[in-house]
């Protein structure tokens, strides 16, 4: 059946901010869908609240809405755009849930919008655990014994029949959020309570535990003629009990006999048919008992997923692209396999290499969080590596992880290491390899971690002879879906080691530019950088050169073989990158767009004689060496907060007196603001140093901490002679909250023209002083009216996509053109970046709800995983949208709980006053209440947590509080404030931890009360700002 001509306009829903369990893979799938559906001649309306995505680039849709993914705003978009269909299967769980809501509240029917890809029934059958179970039973498929509970007592009853240990999983949550494994009745009670809270429908699924069984995933596709294919099988090294998202996985499956694998294949097809996904891809998860060969279905996702992105990259079969075509009427047979071009998509990829996926964790950022892996996903990113053998792929994957600090196993005895394997953490494989190095046998390791012996035997060999898999010559082979049975047209390569090299790379005559990607997503370096790399690739291609991408993150758009002329799926280490350069002989390498990862390689590449495009290594060093940078600022007559560098604890204490308190302290060897803290006294400093600094002579940085300063972020373009300011962003939270974690506004809402002029002048000075060619990001603090430079990063920053969308000009592309030799003067840019008549707000999204135990406080250390953007006619409305998009929609009425430190009490009165005027009931802790009432704002006092119930936390938990304003009284873990913030987050109640945030929030509430603000497409906004959106 050919293309459906009854559809004209299709609404595609993205997955919103990057959160644990839902990352860049949905940008990859969404972009593929936009591309093919436009090729097919459909009009595309796209909605996604995440500005850092490629899919929200105006050029990928006819109308692009950066609006909250909530029934309200999306309903408005539907009413305004009148799409014929909604494609909900490419935006993860978020898009599915949203589509369900829009179907249930009648919006789709009212506007005659058809769900394509998966209809309401199919979504519900797969997502509602009870219906899914019934569906599987009817199809003759087995699942773990289980029951569903909506209360703790009900659950305790069911526990008897199922038997401990029991897996507790809440319905409708991402990445197993809020679940756990209960081994004792006490644990059971505890976990069930948490699960019921985490579930938006207050429902938990209790499962017979099959801990230790093998875990497998199959990616299935089905077309409207009921033809099914399995794109890829994925085997988890980590057995059942460790979330697939946290597991090291391998493709294809390695340990199942053909007979058993074929049974899995049959069942995967039975599942997609029973659930009724008529067109598209689904992910089916199985548990397999290796001894008895019993198979149980664990779950199915009726949509593309993290695993389908992995499967696409692992096989070269573009699942999302094909799912999109299937959704508009095509059948698999009618779609060509774009790798061979000679064969149809109605086949099953077969591969002649091994693929390993490795998760990337960030526990170090969440002190107090429980670092043991379980059924609840905790990783923040992943890498993929391809090798001809498992050992090659595994070793490449380990290299690709790019850990901030090497795993230190110290001199713990073997017995202790083996014990550690029983409580698997992020470093379990490092521990395992060390065990083997110390002579452990496969059996001893197997007993403790239940990883299949095949893998353990391979790992043991790798541990004992790490060089062996890499003997011979490095050679580049192609990913071609067919094990070389047919000629491949798609230039997608990986390096491997063979006796003699037989490169398959076809390097044309055109000059090439190598773009280094950002590697695994992690906190501090996320999708924003992939966005920039993709823009670089587009620009390089437009310039008539070949764009060559090097990256190892399977979630991304940059690793889509469509994005560049040649893709090398490789680790971003100097060795691996140099090998690519030797083969490519590029005109230059771009290190500015992938965050710190490629920047760290710059010097090594330059030493090897590889030309870098844009900012020189010398300039990079000048910006990153604090001493040299400090001198430059002096020369330029710019001020920075007083600071000192110490190399011992005593030195630090001495230096602190000169610099003066409060102090911002950080050891030199950490990145991304890690282990940064603010200390107010020498005692505090001593205590910090004791906790964080090994007295090993490495530098410790002390900065005078500018309190209550306004932080400003600037992204600018420089060609060495001219500077162009792309955007000046004013942070909502004061300096001290990491720039990546604070909300910011563009244009600035409270900086005067003189200050803005000064910021421009400073930025120009720094850009030219450093000799930047390309992008520069500068962070400032406005303290008591004066401007201080916090830091300058001579590279694309996290905010580049946000700014580009706000001003309607693609900063990264412009920078890339400059790096390729164009002059700013020749780019035809407006005098000043225009913003039209709208305000853009960026808000960060925090993962606190996934790290039980960690405090939910903002600080100088970045902790957010993603961001959203709110666009409206004025600041309050834009801020309200951003809050809603970030998942903490502000209430319009109800009860507000306020408790602030003494220093904040005066400031908090204004907040309380407005809330009172808006008709909120105000409850506060005693001190705060008195402060309010002295200023004539009525408030009710509440017991402190220590003072018995009913206290604040009880009230929050019973849902009697709608808004929390709580500024920290120094981060004593388990302090009142800590408990209040945890409770608020568990309940999903907006919780503002800074005065400035609180003020912005009340203004936003007032604005929202005035009526829902209209939805604006980026295309409209940019037209209003009369910048034509460049293609």
Ligand X SMILES: Nc1ncnc2c1ncn2[C@@H]1O[C@H](COP(=O)(O)OP(=O)(O)O)[C@@H](O)[C@H]1O
- Using DSSP's 3-state secondary structure scheme, residue 543 falls into coil
Nearer Cβ to other proteins, position 345 or 872?
345
Q: Does 720 bind ligand X (CB under 6 A)?
A: no
How would DSSP label each residue in 870-922? Answer: EEESSHHHHHHHHHHHTT-PPPSSSEEEEE--HHHHHHHHHHHHHHHHTT-EE
Nearer Cβ to ligand X, position 96 or 1021?
96
Q: Does 909 bind other proteins (CB under 8 A)?
A: no
Can you tell me which of 121, 130, 266, 635 binds other proteins, judged by CB under 8 A?
A: 266
Q: What is the largest CA-CA distance in the chain?
A: 84
State the minimum distance, in angstroms, from the CB of residue 583 to ligand X: 34
Q: Does 69 bind ligand X (CB under 6 A)?
A: no
Nearer Cβ to other proteins, position 160 or 291?
291
Q: Does 354 bind other proteins (CB under 8 A)?
A: yes
How far apart are the C-alpha atoms of 890 and 868, rounded to whole Å? 15
Q: Which region among 144-152, 382-390, 810-818, 877-885 touches other proteins (by CB under 8 A)?
A: 382-390
Kind plus residue range of the DSSP H or E element containing 442: helix 442-449
How far apart are the C-alpha atoms of 227 and 1004, rounded to whole Å? 51
Nearer Cβ to other proteins, position 120 or 486?
486
Can you tell me which of 737, 856, 882, 955 binds ligand X, judged by CB under 6 A?
A: 737
Nearer Cβ to Mg ion, position 68 or 170?
170
Can you tell me which of 252, 765, 860, 887 binds ligand X, judged by CB under 6 A?
A: 860
- CB atoms closer than 10 angstroms to residue 523: 28
Q: Does 240 bind ligand X (CB under 6 A)?
A: yes
Can you tell me which of 53, 64, 244, 521 binds ligand X, judged by CB under 6 A?
A: 244
Q: Does 695 bind other proteins (CB under 8 A)?
A: no
Q: Does 489 bind other proteins (CB under 8 A)?
A: no
Nearer Cβ to other proteins, position 225 or 1019?
225
How would DSSP label each residue in 310-323? Answer: HHHHHHS--HHHHH
389, two tokens: 């053998």
How far apart are the C-alpha atoms of 237 and 215, rounded to whole Å? 8
Among residue numbers 713 through 752, which ones bind Mg ion (CB under 5 A)? 739
Among residue numbers 132 through 191, which ones bind ligand X (CB under 6 A)? 144, 167, 175-176
Binding mask 490-529 for other proteins (x = CB under 8 A): --------xxx-x-x-------------------------
Query: Do the Cβ atoms of 229 and 220 come closer than 8 Å?
Result: yes
Nearer Cβ to ligand X, position 373 or 456?
373
The residues with which 496 forms a beta bridge, in sequence order, are: 475
Q: Does 71 bind ligand X (CB under 6 A)?
A: no
Q: Does 284 bind other proteins (CB under 8 A)?
A: no
Strands (E), 647-784: 663-667, 677-679, 700-704, 710-719, 723-734, 744-746, 773-783
Q: Does 298 bind ligand X (CB under 6 A)?
A: yes
Binding mask 758-797 for other proteins (x = CB under 8 A): ----------------------------------------
Query: Do the Cβ atoms of 829 and 811 come closer than 8 Å?
Result: no
How would DSSP label each residue in 565-625? Answer: SEEEE---SHHHHHHHHHHH--SEEE-SSSTHHHHTTHHHHHHTTPPBPSS-HHHHHHHH-
Nearer Cβ to ligand X, position 477 or 704?
704
Q: Does 299 bind ligand X (CB under 6 A)?
A: yes
**Polymer length in residues for the chain:** 1031
How far apart are the C-alpha atoms of 167 and 212, rounded to whole Å? 13
Nearer Cβ to ligand X, position 209 or 883?
209
Q: Does 285 bind ligand X (CB under 6 A)?
A: yes
Q: Which region among 449-457, 506-514, 613-621, 751-759 touches other proteins (by CB under 8 A)?
A: 449-457
Q: Which does 353 bind (CB under 5 to 8 A by kind): Mg ion, other proteins, ligand X, none?
A: other proteins
Q: Does 49 bind other proteins (CB under 8 A)?
A: no
Q: Which region among 253-261, 525-533, 726-734, 900-908 touches other proteins (by CB under 8 A)?
A: 253-261
Q: Does 736 bind ligand X (CB under 6 A)?
A: yes
- CB atoms closer than 10 angstroms to residue 412: 15
How far apart are the C-alpha atoms of 121 and 132, rounded to whole Å? 11
How far apart are the C-alpha atoms of 68 and 88, rounded to whole Å? 15
Q: Does 261 bind other proteins (CB under 8 A)?
A: yes
Sheet holding 588-590, edge to edge: 473-478, 492-498, 566-569, 546-551, 512-516, 588-590
Sequence-distant (≥ 6) Cβ neighbours of residue 607 within 8 angstroms: none
Can you tell me which of 66, 90, 103, 210 binds ligand X, judged by CB under 6 A?
A: 210
State the minimum distance, in angstroms, from the CB of residue 698 to other proteins: 43
Number of residues that bind other proteins (CB under 8 A): 52
728, two tokens: 């000046």
Start-to-end Cα distance in the chain:
33
Q: Which region among 203-211, 251-259, 395-403, 584-592 touches ligand X (by CB under 6 A)?
A: 203-211
How far apart are the C-alpha atoms of 1020 and 985, rounded to whole Å? 35
Q: Does 738 bind ligand X (CB under 6 A)?
A: yes
Nearer Cβ to other proteins, position 171 or 488?
488
Helix runs in 316-409, H state only: 319-327, 390-400
Can you tell me which of 349, 586, 667, 672 binds other proteins, judged by CB under 8 A?
A: 349
Q: Does 705 bind ligand X (CB under 6 A)?
A: yes
Nearer Cβ to ligand X, position 379 or 512?
379
State the minimum distance, in angstroms, from the CB of residue 167 to ligand X: 4
Query: Do the Cβ atoms of 247 and 307 come closer than 8 Å?
Result: no
Sequence-distant (≥ 6) Cβ neighbours of residue 860 within 8 angstroms: 664, 666, 673, 676, 677, 678, 736, 737, 738
How far apart are the C-alpha atoms of 172 and 301, rounded to whole Å? 12
Q: Are strands 85-87 and 9-13 parallel, antiparallel or unpaired?
A: parallel
State the minimum distance, in angstroms, from the CB of residue 640 to ligand X: 8
- Using DSSP's 3-state secondary structure scheme, residue 853 falls into coil
Q: Which does 347 bind (CB under 5 to 8 A by kind): Mg ion, other proteins, ligand X, none?
A: other proteins
Q: Does 163 bind other proteins (CB under 8 A)?
A: no
Angle at 891 between CA 888 and CA 897, to 5 degrees: 90
Strands (E), 805-859: 839-845
Nearer Cβ to other proteins, position 482 or 868?
482
Among residue numbers 76 through 105, which ones bind ligand X (CB under 6 A)? none
How far apart are the C-alpha atoms of 657 and 649, rounded to whole Å? 13
Q: How far is CA 69 from CA 12, 66, 435, 881, in A?
A: 11, 9, 47, 10
Q: Does 641 bind ligand X (CB under 6 A)?
A: yes
Q: Does 382 bind ligand X (CB under 6 A)?
A: no
The residues with which 868 forms a beta bridge, in sequence order, are: 843
Number of residues that bind Mg ion (CB under 5 A): 2
Q: Does 257 bind other proteins (CB under 8 A)?
A: yes
State the minimum distance, in angstroms, from the CB of residue 495 to other proteins: 13
Q: Which region among 397-405, 450-458, 677-685, 775-783 touches Mg ion (by CB under 5 A)?
A: 775-783
The residues with which 206 forms a beta bridge, in sequence order, are: 147, 168
Among residue numbers 193 through 252, which ones bind other proteins (CB under 8 A)? 225-227, 229-230, 252
Contact set with ligand X (CB under 6 A): 144, 167, 175-176, 207-211, 215, 240-244, 285, 298-299, 375, 641, 664, 672-673, 703-706, 709, 711, 735-739, 779, 781, 790-791, 860, 862
Contact set with other proteins (CB under 8 A): 225-227, 229-230, 252-259, 261-262, 265-266, 290-291, 293, 332-333, 343-344, 346-354, 388-390, 442, 453-454, 457, 477, 482-487, 498-500, 502, 504
Interface contacts to Mg ion, rule CB under 5 A: 739, 779
């Amino acid at each position: 059946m050919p293309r459906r001509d009854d559809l004209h306009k299709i609404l595609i829903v993205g997955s919103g901010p990057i959160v644990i369990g839902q990352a860049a893979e949905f940008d990859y799938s969404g972009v593929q869908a936009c591309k093919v559906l436009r090729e097919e001649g459909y009009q595309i309306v796209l909605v996604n609240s995440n500005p850092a995505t490629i899919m929200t680039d105006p050029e990928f849709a006819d109308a692009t809405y950066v609006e909250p993914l909530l029934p309200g705003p999306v309903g408005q978009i539907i009413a305004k755009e009148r799409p014929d269909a909604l494609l909900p299967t490419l935006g993860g769980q978020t898009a599915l849930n949203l589509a369900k809501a829009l179907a249930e509240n009648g919006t789709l029917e009212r506007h005659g919008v058809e769900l394509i890809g998966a209809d309401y029934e199919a979504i519900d059958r797969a997502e509602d655990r009870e219906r899914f179970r019934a569906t599987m039973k009817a199809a003759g498929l087995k699942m773990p014994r289980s029951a569903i509970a909506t209360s703790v007592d009900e659950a305790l009853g069911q526990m008897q029949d199922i038997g401990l240990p029991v897996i507790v999983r809440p319905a409708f949550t991402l990445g197993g959020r809020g679940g756990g494994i209960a081994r004792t009745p006490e644990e059971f009670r505890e976990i069930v309570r948490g699960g019921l809270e985490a579930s938006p429908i207050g429902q938990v699924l209790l499962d017979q535990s099959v801990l230790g069984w093998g875990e497998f995933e199959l990616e299935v596709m089905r077309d409207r003629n009921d033809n099914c294919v399995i794109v890829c099988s994925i085997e988890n090294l980590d057995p059942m009990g460790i979330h697939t998202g946290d597991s090291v996985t391998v493709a294809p499956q390695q340990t199942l006999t053909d007979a058993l694998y074929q049974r899995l294949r049959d069942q995967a097809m039975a599942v997609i048919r029973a659930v009724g996904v008529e067109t598209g891809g689904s992910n089916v998860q199985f548990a397999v008992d290796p001894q008895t060969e019993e198979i149980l279905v664990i779950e199915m996702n009726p949509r593309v997923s993290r695993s389908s992105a992995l499967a696409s990259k692992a096989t070269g079969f573009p699942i999302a692209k094909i799912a999109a075509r299937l959704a508009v009427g095509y059948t698999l047979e009618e779609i060509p396999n774009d790798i061979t071009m000679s064969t149809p998509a109605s086949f099953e990829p077969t591969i002649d290499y091994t693929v390993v996926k490795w998760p990337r964790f960030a526990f170090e950022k969440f002190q107090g969080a429980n670092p043991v892996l379980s059924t609840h996903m905790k990783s923040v990113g992943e890498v993929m590596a391809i090798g001809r053998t498992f050992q090659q792929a595994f070793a490449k994957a380990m290299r690709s992880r790019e850990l901030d600090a090497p795993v230190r196993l110290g001199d713990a005895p073997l017995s202790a290491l083996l014990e550690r394997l029983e409580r698997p953490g992020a470093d379990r494989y490092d521990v395992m390899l060390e065990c083997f190095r110390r002579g452990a046998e496969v059996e001893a390791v197997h007993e403790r971690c239940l990883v299949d012996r095949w893998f353990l035997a391979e790992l043991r060999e790798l541990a004992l002879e790490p060089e062996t898999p890499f003997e011979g010559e490095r050679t580049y082979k192609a990913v071609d879906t067919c094990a070389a049975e047919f000629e491949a047209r798609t230039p997608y390569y990986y390096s491997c080691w063979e006796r003699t090299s037989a490169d398959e790379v076809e390097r044309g005559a055109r000059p090439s530019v190598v773009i280094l990607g950002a590697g695994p997503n992690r906190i501090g370096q996320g999708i924003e950088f992939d966005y920039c790399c993709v823009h670089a690739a587009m620009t390089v291609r437009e310039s008539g050169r070949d764009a060559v991408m090097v990256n190892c993150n399977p979630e991304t758009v940059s690793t889509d073989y469509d994005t560049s002329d040649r893709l090398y799926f490789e680790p971003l280490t100097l060795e691996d990158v140099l090998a690519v350069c030797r083969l490519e002989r590029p005109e230059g390498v771009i290190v500015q767009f992938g965050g710190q990862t490629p920047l760290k390689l710059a010097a090594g590449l330059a030493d090897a004689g590889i030309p870098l495009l844009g900012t020189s290594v010398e300039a990079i060093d000048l910006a990153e060496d604090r001493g040299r940078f400090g001198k430059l600022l002096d020369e330029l007559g710019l001020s920075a907060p007083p600071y000192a560098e110490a190399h011992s604890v005593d030195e630090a204490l001495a230096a602190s007196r000169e610099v003066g308190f409060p102090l911002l302290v950080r050891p030199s060897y950490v990145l991304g603001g890690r282990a940064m803290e603010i200390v107010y006294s020498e005692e505090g400093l001593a205590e910090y140093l004791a906790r964080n600094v090994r007295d090993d002579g490495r530098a410790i940085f002390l900065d005078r901490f500018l309190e209550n300063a306004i932080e400003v972020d600037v992204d600018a373009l420089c060609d060495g002679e001219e500077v162009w300011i792309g955007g000046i962003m004013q942070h909502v939270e004061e300096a001290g909250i990491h720039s990546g974690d604070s909300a910011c506004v563009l244009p600035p809402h409270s900086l005067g023209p003189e200050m803005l002029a000064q910021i421009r002048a400073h930025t120009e000075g720094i850009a030219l002083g450093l000799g930047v060619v390309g992008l520069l990001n500068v962070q400032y603090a406005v303290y008591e009216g004066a401007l201080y430079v916090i830091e300058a990063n001579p590279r694309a920053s996290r905010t580049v996509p946000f700014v580009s969308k706000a001003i309607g000009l693609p900063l990264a592309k412009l920078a890339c053109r400059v790096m390729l030799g164009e002059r700013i003067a020749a780019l035809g840019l407006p005098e000043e970046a225009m913003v039209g008549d709208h305000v853009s707000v960026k808000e960060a999204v925090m993962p606190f709800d996934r790290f039980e135990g960690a405090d939910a406080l903002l600080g100088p250390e970045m902790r957010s995983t993603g961001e959203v953007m709110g666009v409206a006619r004025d600041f309050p409305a834009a801020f309200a949208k951003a809050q809603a998009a970030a998942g903490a929609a502000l209430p319009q009425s109800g009860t507000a709980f306020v408790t602030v430190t003494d220093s904040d009490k005066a400031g908090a009165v204004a907040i309380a006053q407005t809330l009172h005027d808006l008709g909120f009931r105000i409850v506060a802790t005693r001190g705060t209440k008195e402060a309010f009432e002295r200023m004539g704002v009525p408030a009710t006092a509440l017991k402190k947590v220590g003072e018995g119930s009913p206290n604040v936390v009880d009230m929050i938990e019973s849902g009697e509080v709608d808004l929390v304003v709580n500024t920290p009284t120094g981060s004593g873990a388990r302090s009142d404030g800590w408990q209040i913030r945890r409770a608020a987050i568990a309940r999903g109640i907006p919780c503002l931890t800074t005065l400035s945030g609180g003020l912005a929030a009340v203004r936003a509430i007032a604005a929202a009360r005035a009526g829902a603000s209209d939805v604006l497409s980026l295309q409209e906004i940019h037209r209003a700002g009369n910048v034509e959106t460049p293609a």
